């Protein structure tokens, strides 16, 4: 099992425990080490980890205050 798969599995375990922010962090780490896609688009690993991170961030209900905008 490679590092990408380990990070994705850790993210899935955290997501199952409803620790969405931590899971999103693991998915983002997996995205950063995934194999790069073609210049036209993302690779399968990049798409998979990005979709999982986006899913967790939407569940985490992270609020952005106006001071950060």
Examine the pLDDT at 68 and tell me if it is beyond 60.
no
| pLDDT > 60? residue 69 | no
pLDDT of residue 39: 80
Report the C-alpha gap between 35 and 42 in whole angstroms: 9
Q: How large is the angle between the packed helices 3-16 and 20-33, nearest 10 degrees? A: 170
Rounded to whole angstroms, the Cα distance separating 21 from 66 reads 21
Q: Which range among 26-30, 42-46, 51-55, 60-64 shows the weakest confidence by mean pLDDT?
A: 60-64
Task: Give the pLDDT band (50/70/90) at residue 49.
Answer: very high
Q: Is the pLDDT of residue 30 over 70?
A: yes
């Amino acid at each position: 099992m490679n590092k990408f798969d380990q990070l994705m599995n850790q993210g899935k375990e955290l997501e199952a425990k409803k620790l969405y922010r931590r899971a999103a962090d693991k998915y983002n780490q997996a995205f950063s080490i995934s194999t790069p896609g073609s210049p036209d688009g993302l690779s399968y690993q990049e798409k998979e980890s990005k979709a999982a991170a986006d899913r967790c961030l939407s569940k985490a209900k992270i609020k952005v205050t106006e001071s950060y905008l």
